[in-house]
Amino acid sequence: MTLGLPATLSDRLVQLIDIVFAVVIAESLARYSDEIVGLSPLRTLVALLGVYVVTVSSWWFYYVSMKKYPYKETRFGIARFVVDLFTVVLYVYLLYSVAQIERGDNVVRYVSGFPFVFVAYIVSGILRRLEYNQPRASRLGLLLTFAVLLGACASAYHLLYSIWPSEAATWNWLFIVLPPLLIIAFRVRRFRFYEERAQ
């Protein structure tokens, strides 16, 4: 009798990440409850929506990946779990970077967090390839492409904000919306990849 506990170490590790994901979402909803209920300021709500889209889509694809590639009880498997857990911490960073936007400041922390999320995805993908000795276990080329795009996005914001600070309101709006749109494009491409592989 297991008393409802997960049967394997991988299941237990996934359950731990589930708990952290849930705490992240619940805590952020509590933190920004006034803004959500009052539907203002709009830039805060748009940034929150972007981060939620990124976080929830990541959670979904994490389950898809874990179904095919659960953690093995090896050094690569444990290392991958640590990186995946760190990725959730990066989502916490993104959620709390919205506070900078709420104050009306620049969006440096917000826009800079997204490339680091993709760096974590790449490291996790490399570890998954090593863990399973399968190049198809991760699409590193696609991950690298979007990591570069998001890095270029963050660099462009830094440059534009430093050259034309008088246009900060415009730059802030543009770069609040752009990173989540890039990640949605990544997820669409990733979903098509899963569909192609299933055929």
| 109, part of any domain | yes
Which residues lie closer than 8 Å to 39 by C-beta, 6 or more apart? 45
| 198, part of any domain | no
| 182, part of any domain | yes
pLDDT surpasses 80 at 73: yes
pLDDT surpasses 70 at 4: no
pLDDT recorded at residue 40: 65
User: What is the spatial distance between Cα 62 and Cα 24, in angstroms, rounded to a whole number?
Assistant: 16
| 172, part of any domain | yes
Tell me how many domains the chain contains. Answer: 1
pLDDT surpasses 80 at 37: no
Report residue 1's pLDDT band, with 50, 70 and 90 as the boundaries: very low
Rounded to two decimals, what is the model's pTM?
0.85
Average of per-residue pLDDT across 138-164: 92
Which residues lie closer than 8 Å to 78 by C-beta, 6 or more apart? 71
Structural tokens at position 9 = 């170490």
| 64, part of any domain | yes
Alpha helices in 69-135 (DSSP H): 75-102, 108-132
pLDDT recorded at residue 194: 57
Per-range mean pLDDT, top range of 56-60, 180-184, 189-193: 180-184
CB atoms within 10 A of CB 3: 4
| 196, part of any domain | no
Contact predicate 58/92, CB 8 Å: no
User: What is the spatial distance between Cα 48 and Cα 100, in angstroms, rounded to a whole number?
Assistant: 12
Q: Which domain holds residue 105?
A: 9-191
| 2, part of any domain | no
| 3, part of any domain | no
SS3 per residue for 18-83:
HHHHHHHHHHHHHHCHHHHHHCCCHHHHHHHHHHHHHHHHHHHHHHHHHHHCCCCCCHHHHHHHHH
pLDDT surpasses 80 at 152: yes
